[in-house]
Structure 1
Amino acid sequence: MTTRHADKNAFITGAGSGIGRETALRLASEGARVLVTDVNLASADATVALIEAAGGVALSAQVDVRDRAQIAAAVQKAKDAWGSLHLLVNNAGVVTTHSFADLTEDAWDFVVDINLKGQWLVAQEVTKLIAESGGGAVVNLSTVEALVVVTSGTTAQPHYNASKGGVPMLTKALAVELAEKNIRVNCVAPGPIATDFFDLEGVTSPEAFEFMKTRLLVPRIGMPADVASAVSWLLSDEASFVDGIQLPVDGGWLTR
């Protein structure tokens, strides 16, 4: 346990697995009390159990980031338990494997509503309490695909690219509007990370790495802990003069 986030209360979406879970564990290990939210309550509960086993403090709540009422109920749960919120991590995200030609309206709406609209809805509800609590920080999760199209095949996922491309501009707009409330807003853009978000077995296969190493400068696949470290720093007072940026955590992917 460290004290980087001592006496801070954090709200994390999509924290039942992957980068969200690792971020919840990281913030809790650094002293924060964490509200672990996920559309799958059992997964959120499992993250809470891991935090408590390590000596941290956490609560869980079922939250579909498309549902304002669920978001507001989770914010109220944090307020009832701890009286305040200081940190927000907008991590929840999805993708479907649709090319431009076969992309449906339902698939477009599903991905864009969670990846982009969901970040706006969550931020709008959570930052009300952060402002009441004296201010704090927000980190949104983007991806290198906010800037480049990444595909090892013949098609992209245009709805995913478009949804994530909106996150850096949403981040900048929120940074401008929330500055007067003493709330900083930044985003992190992961590159290839070993989670099951896409296909864990595929991402970590020798064939996938052969493709990826043509872009990577750091010769390995990223881990959820790499992203959690960046998120933790941006949320901390160590980054108090950093606002409105997108920070790539990509092993140099965007450099080439």
Structure 2
Amino acid sequence: MRHHPTRSANSKQANDGSTVAESKRRRKTVLAQLGVKASKTSVDEVVKAAIALADEEGLEAVSMRRVADKLGISAMSLYTYVPGKAELIELMVDSIAAETPLEPHVGTVRARLENIARQQWAEFGRHPWLLQVDSSRPPLGPGVSDRYEWQLAAVEGLGLSDLEMDQTLTLLVSVVAGPARAARAAQRTNESSGMSDRGWWEINAPLLEKVMDGGRFPLSGRVGQNVGELYNGASASTLSFEFGLARVLDGIEQLIASK
């Protein structure tokens, strides 16, 4: 994850009054460090407008002027709340992270990690622009910090080293991000071409049958046909996510069992 917040919190306290108050206090501190005007409601409105714009048109559509237009204010007025686009994107990412339900982990380790991965999958589905954000230096706001602490609690006490705990979470994000990017690319291709994947395959199937001679490519012919039938029931990216997640969880279970 490459993220090492210094605050330690019990995940079971994530939703109690004291932790909420602490998160609000730290949020104000982060806003001040970013040079954001101390006006909570106005800043929240700016962040919500930017997220809505990114959801609708992608991260590339987010600019100070576009967000200002969405709010019905001047671009110069927006700069009194957020100093620039980079800081705005940090606040957007942290705001999304803060939406994660930080409920106590229950069940097996596999169930805990699967829950984390599926939450990330759903989040990328709701906000695909997150895949465009550089994750090498994640924002250190309260939303991201609280979620990282909660995620680490899922693998605490299993005999893993601190590095292995962090890398386990990083691996989970990676196995989600790849198929999520493929899903987003497929969606954009469908929108730009005006044709679904199924429609494309139906048009190109006759040509493929001519090129892929069954006698010369028996494995490709058999596997391609069977896979094509499976893809008719679910998207390729969803199947890739499910398969990749299951294999990664298998590996993590073996790692823990070896401790």
Q: Is the TM-score greater than 0.5?
A: no
TM-score of the aligned structures, taking structure 2 as reference length: 0.28
Which has more strand, going by share of residues? 1
Q: Larger Rg: 1 or 2?
A: 2
Which has more helix, going by share of residues? 2
RCO (CA 8 Å, sep 6+): is it higher in 1 or 2? Answer: 2
